[in-house]
Structure 1
């Protein structure tokens, strides 16, 4: 039997912990933001403060359920394309998840290291900025994000479930979910979208034209790819292709991580009242801001 990858090993352990965890005990707060106790610890966050980023690191930032697994797959393919060996994640690739010793082990990893994160901008390790690592931040419209988040909680057998979509919606709007409020996360990143070392990508744009997105992302990180290579990477990282390989890449949880990936799936869950409530929250937090404009809310979030 093939050896399990580090990623699958880590996911299996996290799911085992989740089995024992009631929803009411799932989250703990660190510096004002809630995180899941199954994959994050206070000790790891304290160790993360001393993490040494490198200029060549590929930092992939997104709120949960906004496409981080997709980005990881795309960048693994990009690195495989430009280097002879297959890219394996030597650790679980979400920067803030794992044991506190992880960052010591990461010092041994060759560049470029791929670092995914769901952290708010101001919670990132300072060395990312001092060492001028480039950051790709991907956003997805908040209605589809909430829908995907709910399905993840309620479809994966070992993860604590919410009683109903209405229950989850209420928690989501109050920011009482893993990694805190989507809107706080967005407000925080909105101030930095024009920073020199940051590239913004919209999930919905990537769904619409994957090859254009792959080209833009590769160029941002300084990877030189031919048109043919870009097309090949795009073909291997369509949602359908990743879903087909999801058990191989992520173990039993794979099909749940790559569930639908559709734009507009929120219409199957949101009531009219909930839709209006989120519209009001969006207007209050993001309307008229650079990020508010980039999210194309009227296109993706109006029925």
Structure 2
């Protein structure tokens, strides 16, 4: 991996893949001076962009210098990437005050967060009339104290996102009646996607082999912790009228229906034409066709296959059987387990 692509990966994790390429490449002119974008950004904004890239470069240098064993740390029992969300960030995040009209998007890593974030951004734009995507970094665990002040001053509706374990999400999101949309994916395809994303990613420990990564995933020794602990924790919150779960597989099967149900959950008043247009623009094939424009040189990392069932080309029979046993132990008979339709997608 070149240093530039590695930097883009870090940028993508921080601000979302759609903005990373433009932030790293397009903000400087040939004389290395910050230039105005199409919306005539101010001098202060340009200065912020310069500081942003400097911070990314610093994080890259730190990540490359760290030993694998120092790239993750535990916070309240869950592993997190030390470079991207240090303990200072998570402690500051505990005091974030949610609003009743906030939208919080939650997904365990590689369960479709970037997909659902793009869909909801389109829905918000159609509702509010905004024609530009948010510049807000989608994952709030990467904010830090300084950016949290900006979040506090941002206009509503705020669209925020996280991979955090539900017990580590700021309590105000549960008490404020903010809408929380949770995205899940079957664990076998989640593992495969996480394996490919983690390879050569400088901010997480190096991947030695498929077999070793499989073992780490099954024990929960991966960034953001155990898939099954996340699932069980959300299972306990499904009775809340402010929590909705959608699955990757459901959206693959009938995206327009999913968009309509999410719109109703958020209380958006979208026309049938708007719902159809958002759905057509948000299919995997549509996003992949447009990925070089939206995601630049990391498009191939994000839009790999988008298939349900790719796990079959990676799992051994023994690994598949072990995953079946663990799923049956934790999630069979639960509401979330039923919604994941494990027997159809994983056996």
Give 1 or 2 for the bigger CA radius of gyration: 2
The counterpart of 1:148, out of the listed 193, 196, 204, is 193
Measure how far apart 1:160 and its partner are. Answer: 4.7
Measure how far apart 1:22 and its partner are. Answer: 4.1
Residue of structure 2 in register with 1:289 after alignment = 334
- Higher mean C-alpha displacement, 16-25 vs 148-157: 16-25
Residue of structure 2 in register with 1:104 after alignment = 149
Q: Is 1:117–2:167 an aligned residue pair?
A: no
- Structure 2 CA distance for aligned equivalents of residues 133 and 248 of structure 1: 32
Q: Is 1:181–2:232 an aligned residue pair?
A: no
Residue of structure 1 in register with 2:131 after alignment = 86
Check whether the contact 2:217–2:226 (CA below 8 A) recurs between aligned residues.
yes
Match of 1:116, SS state, is strand
Residue of structure 1 in register with 2:26 after alignment = none
Distance change in 2, residues 1:54/1:228 (3 Å): same
Measure how far apart 1:248 and its partner are. Answer: 3.4
Q: Is 1:256–2:301 an aligned residue pair?
A: yes
Q: Is 1:228–2:283 an aligned residue pair?
A: no
Unmatched 5+ residue regions in structure 2? 1-10, 24-51
Deviations, residues 3-40 of structure 1 (Å, cap 9, x unaligned): x9954147965656544444333211111100112211
Residue of structure 2 in register with 1:198 after alignment = 243
The counterpart of 1:45, out of the listed 90, 94, 101, is 90
Match of 1:224, SS state, is coil
Q: Is 1:170–2:218 an aligned residue pair?
A: no
Measure how far apart 1:128 and its partner are. Answer: 0.6
Check whether the contact 2:255–2:283 (CA below 8 A) recurs between aligned residues.
yes
Check whether the contact 2:96–2:170 (CA below 8 A) recurs between aligned residues.
yes
Check whether the contact 2:110–2:193 (CA below 8 A) recurs between aligned residues.
yes
RMSD of the TM alignment (CA)?
A: 2.1
Match of 1:89, SS state, is coil
Check whether the contact 2:163–2:224 (CA below 8 A) recurs between aligned residues.
yes
Distance change in 2, residues 1:148/1:123 (3 Å): same
The counterpart of 2:284, out of the listed 228, 233, 239, is 239
Check whether the contact 1:49–1:125 (CA below 8 A) recurs between aligned residues.
yes
- Structure 2 CA distance for aligned equivalents of residues 172 and 94 of structure 1: 21
The counterpart of 1:77, out of the listed 117, 122, 143, is 122
Distance change in 2, residues 1:231/1:22 (3 Å): farther
